Amino acid sequence: MDGSRPPGLRVRDAAPRGLGALFWLLLVLVLLPAAAASVLRAALGLPLWGGAAVGGVGALGITGWALTRLRLWPTHLGGSLLQGLYLAAVARVMLGIPVLDGLVSVGGGDAGNHAALRMDFVTRDPGTYQGFTFFHTVTYGAQWLFGLDTFAGFRVGFYLVPAVLAVALAAALELVAVRLWRSARAWAVAQGALLALTLTVWPFLLLRLLHYHQSDGFYGHLFGLVPRVLAWVAYALPRTAWVRCAALAGFTVLYRFTYGLNLGDFLLMAGVLALGRASFPSAGSSAPWRGSRGSWGSRSWRQGPMPIRSCCPWARVRQPRSPGCRAGPADPGLGRGGAPGRALRLLPRRAGEAPPVRAGALLPAVPRGLDGVRHPDALLPLRVTAQGATMRR
């Protein structure tokens, strides 16, 4: 073979890339050292510099691996410019709301309490504030790196909340749009829609709510949005189940050390995500409306949870066996077309003629005797006709 492709066969163009991968690395480099420092000090009493060193080594290792093994650099100029414009618009609406004169923290309410709690956490008591210290670690690191005072560090921590939300949304939108459509035009349209929604909705809804809470000094409460949004994205984007489970487990630990008072809400969100993924596994595919067999509804039924499938006996054909109800062997031809197709194949094709099936394909369970042994009579083949089912001889 000379390696030439047959006429009419086109090679699919490479998917366009923007700044999304670099955004993920930026989040890792900024947040992983602070997260490791906070968790290790609150849980084990290690100094902040030790935990930050562990997290920094991990962040640098992830960055080096990604730069050498993955394709990260943008290839589509227009999409990258749209992403940059989106982040600039986010910065503009964050810092320039006319009614509020920006989102400058006034340091009221619990701000003084958080200043004292952070000092205790850094100097003498790793278990202060029940270990809800991710915000305090981030602000202390910003103060140490840039020479800020306490309340300027709190402002940095507050501004980090909408900034992380914007960066995560832009990166996730690129990945989802390219995975679904593999089209730069579709990605650009989606990014433009996100930009328009940000300019219209954020100033009048999200940012005002954030400002209302931060004006009373509820910094730790607001900073809980960071691990929650990242957990949602980290669970939604991977294709493999073990990566999604690891993401939920890791961010559950991080959320406990961010603002554990809302840990129950976080676990409820994680349960809803896991239930949705189990009920509709095709939702994570690149094209959920396309399938090799059957429609989306039939595939969702066929792959749905066992409590739903077990409501109908004929749905047990080619399904995992439950401990209390063992289905008998079925005709392999009955498995095509999903549960509705299997039900139709049980009907006669024309009067007096139908495919022979086994009793286990029609009954929810095979009869047993008093001694608990399955009787061979129950497995004799049946013939379904227009007049009913009769035993074959």
| Residue pLDDT, tens place only, 288-322 | 334 444 443 444 334 434 333 333 333 333 444 44
Q: Which of 159, 189, 223 is the endpoint of a domain? A: 223
Q: What is the pLDDT of residue 217?
A: 87
Q: CA–CA separation, 145 vs 320, rounded Å?
A: 57
Q: Which residues lie below 8 Å from residue 98, measured CB to CB, with a gap of 6+?
A: none
Say yes or no to pLDDT of 373 above 60: no
Assess if residue 280 is contained within a domain. no
Assess if residue 234 is contained within a domain. no
Q: What is the pLDDT of residue 99?
A: 58
Assess if residue 13 is contained within a domain. no
Across the range 366-392, mean pLDDT stands at 47
Phi and psi at residue 390, in whole multiples of 5°? Answer: -130, 155
Assess if residue 1 is contained within a domain. no
Kindly state whether residues 354 and 218 are assigned to the same domain. Answer: no
Assess if residue 253 is contained within a domain. no
Q: Which of 199, 223, 247 is the endpoint of a domain? A: 223
Kindly state whether residues 188 and 305 are assigned to the same domain. Answer: no
Helix (H) or strand (E) holding 267: helix 263-279
Confidence band (pLDDT; 50, 70, 90) for 128?
A: very high
Concatenate the DSSP letters of all residues of 3-30 into one string.
-PPPTT--PPPPPP--SHHHHHHHHHHH
Residue 378 CB neighbours (<10 A): 16
Kindly state whether residues 212 and 111 are assigned to the same domain. Answer: yes
Assess if residue 193 is contained within a domain. yes
Kindly state whether residues 217 and 329 are assigned to the same domain. Answer: no
Q: What is the pLDDT of residue 120?
A: 96
Assess if residue 215 is contained within a domain. yes
Say yes or no to pLDDT of 338 above 70: no
Assess if residue 5 is contained within a domain. no
Q: CA–CA separation, 146 vs 156, rounded Å?
A: 11
Query: What pTM value is reported for the model?
Result: 0.68
Q: What is the pLDDT of residue 342?
A: 47
Say yes or no to pLDDT of 350 above 80: no
Task: Domain count for the chain, please give it.
Answer: 2
* Domain region containing 358: 296-391
With CA atoms as reference, report the closest residue to 72 among 153, 197, 175: 175
Angle at 50 between CA 48 and CA 53, to 5 degrees: 110
Say yes or no to pLDDT of 262 above 50: yes
Q: Which of 165, 188, 223 is the endpoint of a domain? A: 223
At residue 314, the 3 state secondary structure works out as helix
Q: C-alpha 133: how far from its chain's center?
A: 25
Q: CA–CA separation, 134 vs 141, rounded Å?
A: 11
Concatenate the DSSP letters of all residues of 47-76 into one string.
-HHHHHHHHHHHHHHHHHHHHHHS--S---
Q: What is the pLDDT of residue 130?
A: 94
Across the range 357-384, mean pLDDT stands at 46
Kindly state whether residues 188 and 308 are assigned to the same domain. Answer: no
Q: What is the pLDDT of residue 213?
A: 85
Q: Which residues lie below 8 Å from residue 36, measured CB to CB, with a gap of 6+?
A: 51, 52, 54, 55, 58
